[in-house]
Structure 1
Amino acid sequence: MTQIYLIDKSTFQQYQDISVNIKPERLNAFIKKAQDLDLKPLLGRNLFNSLMSHFDEAGILKPETPQHYKDLLNGAEYLDDKGNIVLYEGIIPALVYFTFARFIENDAVHYTPTGPVIKNQDVGQALATSEIMKLVQQQRSIANAYANDIERFLDDHKEHFAQWQMSNKSRIARQPGPRIRAVDRTRYNYPLTGSTPELYYPITEFLN
């Protein structure tokens, strides 16, 4: 099956400055991860696969693609149910910033035969890990803002996207910073009252 990339190196020029020396195939690796690990959970597998089915093997949107799929991808101006004008910019900006966040995070590390190391710069000074992670979170925050717009567009056009459902789990999973992932029943902290055995519900796992 031919791999379809919704964006390429030239797309970034509209949003971010990246080095001309970055090889397209290297950037494509991060685009694929952003499509599979950020965009697919956002849209849901069925809607994601439906969207991708409208591209030919050259990665070009087919002429017969329904207009609502074109609008989902490229953006549109429309009126919401309250008569407000909505300027929706499409999937592309979110995918660019999701990709850029992954690129920044991974490009700071160089894998050697003896293990991963932080890259040294011939010109200039390499950023500290904390500064790199701050940049990653900034890019993800921008991506998440565009992702919220995608969700709003889908919600405003539910009649055209029966495969899509709002997923609070997906929304929480893509937020930057620490977040609760699970709560276990163990014998600490908060007891339940009544005749049932004591059950306790502490926070047990965090993600950075």
Structure 2
Amino acid sequence: MIYLINQTIFQQYEDININIKAERLKVFIKKAQELDLKPFLGHALYYQLITHCNPDGTAKDDAPQPYKDLLNGSEYLDQYGHIVLYEGLAPALVYFTFARFIENDAIHYTATGPVIKRHDNGEPLTSPEVLKLVQQQRSIANAYANDIEKFLWDNQANFLLWHYSEKNRSSRQAGPRIRGVDRTDFNYPGTHNNYNSPITEFLN
């Protein structure tokens, strides 16, 4: 299993407890890659990306530059000459992972069934509070996913395996679910560079 992010990268975006074991975090990184990122990119592009990655998730030296840019981010000019600063896959993957971690961490599985965790130094959040927090993280992930989709539109000649799919954007699965990429005009051919258009579908 190739993990595209790790605990060090995660902590660049969110200040998580240092006592959280890296192996535990990997469980949720794997789910975010398989259940959020792969349907979003499409299976063909996702697997092609993985073939260009080292076991530690970094791009191989001989990986094509477009795939390095997709993974790590880049600064480029779009077709209108505008400078675009793209941060790569890490931010979206971090927040998809974080949403899944929060939702699961609220529950402790015992021999007699699942229970809400109790803490000596504080009261556990209520289910609605947990849900709101999960939705907030997923909203951030979707915002970063917009940037990934724009990068793919702007560089589609370099990613022949990527095809826009409404089905991928509306994918659903059991447990934590992605909303798909927010609807902005740049999500659609011919109008995806309308930067002044407001987000019309955003997860609250």
Indicate the TM-score class for this superposition, using the shorter chain for normalisation. 0.7 to 0.9
Contact 2:7–2:25 under 8 Å retained in 1: yes
Q: Gaps (5+ residues) in structure 2? A: 172-177, 181-204
Offset of 1:5 from its aligned partner? 0.4
- Deviations 1:39-71 (CA, angstroms, capped at 9, x unpaired): 000111110000000123454421111111110
Structure 1: gaps of 5 or more residues: 177-208
Show the counterpart of 1:77: 75
Structural RMSD (CA): 1.2
- 1:130 aligns with 128
Q: Which has the higher contact order (CA 8 A, sep 6+)?
A: 2
- AA partner of residue 179 (structure 2): Q
TM-score, length-scaled by structure 2:
0.82
Query: How many angstroms does 1:9 deviate by?
Result: 0.7
Are residue 54 (structure 1) and residue 58 (structure 2) matched? no
- Describe the SS at the equivalent of 1:86: strand
Matching of residues 17-56 of structure 1 within 5 Å: 17-56=15-54
CA-CA distance at 1:13 after TM superposition: 1.5
Q: Tell me which residue corresponds to 1:180.
A: none
Check conservation: 2:31, 2:97, Cα contact below 8 A: yes
* Per-residue deviation, 1:125: 1.1
Query: Match of 1:68?
Result: 66
Instruction: Report the CA distance shift for 1:150/1:58 in structure 2 as closer, same or farther (over 3 A).
Output: closer
Alignment deviations for residues 49-101 of structure 1 (CA, whole Å, 9 cap, x no partner)? 00000123454421111111110011111111111111111100000000000
Indicate the percent of aligned positions where both proteins have the same amino acid: 63
Q: Report the 3-state secondary structure (helix = DSSP H, G, I; strand = E; otherwise coil) of the residue aligned with 2:76.
A: strand
What is residue 194 of structure 2 aligned with on the other side? none
1:100-135 deviations in Å (ceiling 9; x for gaps) = 000000000000011101100111111111000000
Counterpart residue identity of residue 73, structure 1: L
Match of 2:179 among 169, 175, 181: 175
Aligned to 2:148: 150
Amino acid at match of 1:94: A
Alignment deviations for residues 123-165 of structure 1 (CA, whole Å, 9 cap, x no partner): 1111111000000000000000111110110111111100001
1:170 aligned partner, one-letter code: N
Larger-gyration structure (1/2) = 1
Q: Could you tell me how far 1:172 is from its partner in structure 2?
A: 2.6
What's the TM-score once normalised by structure 1's chain length? 0.81
**Residue 140 of structure 1 aligns to a residue in which SS?**
helix
* Number of residue-to-residue matches in the alignment: 174
In 1, the alpha carbon distance for the partners of 2:125 and 2:114 equals 16
Q: In structure 1, how many angstroms separate the alpha carbons of the residues matched to 2:141 and 2:132? A: 14
Amino acid at match of 1:32: K
The structure with more strand, counted as a fraction of residues: 1
When residues 86 and 57 of structure 1 are mapped into structure 2, their CA distance, relative to the original with a 3 A threshold, is closer
